[in-house]
Amino acid sequence: MNRVLPAAALAVLLAPCTGGAQPSAPVVSPTVTGTLLRHANFPSASVRPRNVDVWLPHGYGSDGTRRYPVLYMHDGQNLFDSSTTGMGNPDWGVDETLTRLIAVGAVEPAIVVGVWNVPERRAEYEPQVLTPFLPDSVLRWIDTAKHGPPFSDRYLRFLVTELKPFIDRTYRTLLEPAHTSIMGSSMGGLVSLYALCEYPQVFGAAAGVSTHWPAGVGAMREYLERRLPRAGSHRIYYDYGTLGLDAAYEPYQVKIDSMMHGKGYRQSRDWATLKFAGADHNERAWRERLHLPLLFLLGTHR
């Protein structure tokens, strides 16, 4: 069932926005649970405009003083509504899963910001710092659609200097890094970790679901060795399956885990790595285990 905000509260959110962004519009779909608002063609001086979806937890409109943690997620068109995922894939079910977890007190009520991808997804999500280490074959893969070399620094600049300030002005958010996390799958996992390391003063936690380590040809471990925030200050979640693209991930993840341990991160405390035997590299698999990264990022007993 698609529950929406009371009319008065919704009217506030539909009011004209500042900074050139379009007013939000509610998304009405049989596959959406709760209140989902869309800022269409969100403008940017750094990257191509794209839709930005904002999911609000039940109760947001009834308490005008409460502020909420925020989870930023990549590939926003795949998160809430199966009509926008394409190719017949299910959505992640972020709205349904969070609603269930909040109802039983397992996680804090939170706002989720779903940032849609654009045709330059590969170039936006490949950590730019790795460019000198990438072989020509990987650079050609990124440049398949003539998008040029990776420009994830611009994408992160968009998230940090344009989108987050807008979200914080428009919605009742908790501003501190301890209440701001970021999450993505595959190459979205890579760019989430990159965001944490480049902007540790903004993001306090990151989750990489089926992180596509081969895109960094092993160089990501050396980068994390140098730039990972000190243990105890941030929280990081990784997971992977054993089928499809995920079948290649374990050797990379083992090295990452060794590095995490060596830097003082504690499994199940400020770091988690989970393996899912038989899980493939797709939205259906991520939907089935989504509650676990959400518990790690937003759990009331973490």
Q: Is residue 1 in some structural domain?
A: no
DSSP one-letter code for 154: H
For residue 194, the enclosing domain spans 7-298
- Show pLDDT as tens, one digit a residue, over the chain (302 residues): 344 444 444 444 544 455 566 668 899 888 899 999 999 999 999 999 999 999 999 999 888 899 999 999 999 999 999 999 987 789 999 999 999 999 999 999 999 999 999 999 989 999 999 888 777 776 676 666 556 778 999 999 999 999 999 999 999 999 999 999 999 999 999 999 999 999 999 999 999 999 999 887 778 999 999 999 999 999 999 999 999 999 999 999 999 999 999 999 999 999 999 999 999 999 999 999 999 999 999 999 76
Q: Is residue 238 in some structural domain?
A: yes
- Listing DSSP states for 197-226 in one string gives HH-TTT-SEEEEET--GGGGTTHHHHHHHH
Q: Is residue 120 in some structural domain?
A: yes
Element housing 183 (H / E):
strand 180-185
165-168: list long-range contacts, CB under 8 Å, 24+ apart.
165/19, 166/17, 166/18, 166/19, 166/21, 166/42, 167/54, 167/70, 167/111, 167/113
Backbone angles phi, psi at 73, to 5 degrees: -130, 140
Q: How far is it, in rounded angstroms, from Cα 19 to Cα 28? A: 26
CATH number of residue 115's parent domain: 3.40.50.1820
Closest CA to 296 of 228, 209, 212, 226: 209
Q: How far is it, in rounded angstroms, from Cα 90 to Cα 31? A: 10
Element housing 241 (H / E):
strand 235-241
Q: Is residue 2 in some structural domain?
A: no
State how many domains the chain has.
Answer: 1
Q: Is residue 33 in some structural domain?
A: yes
Q: Is residue 97 in some structural domain?
A: yes
CA distances from 113 to 116, 126, 145, 180 (A): 10, 20, 27, 11
Q: How far is it, in rounded angstroms, from Cα 150 to Cα 248? A: 23
Q: Is residue 159 in some structural domain?
A: yes
Q: Is residue 226 in some structural domain?
A: yes
Residue 73 sits at the vertex; the CA angle it makes with 276 and 64, to the nearest 5 degrees, is 125
Burial of 35 (0-12, 13-18, 19+ CB in 10 A): buried
pTM given for the model? 0.91
Closest CA to 13 of 22, 98, 77: 22
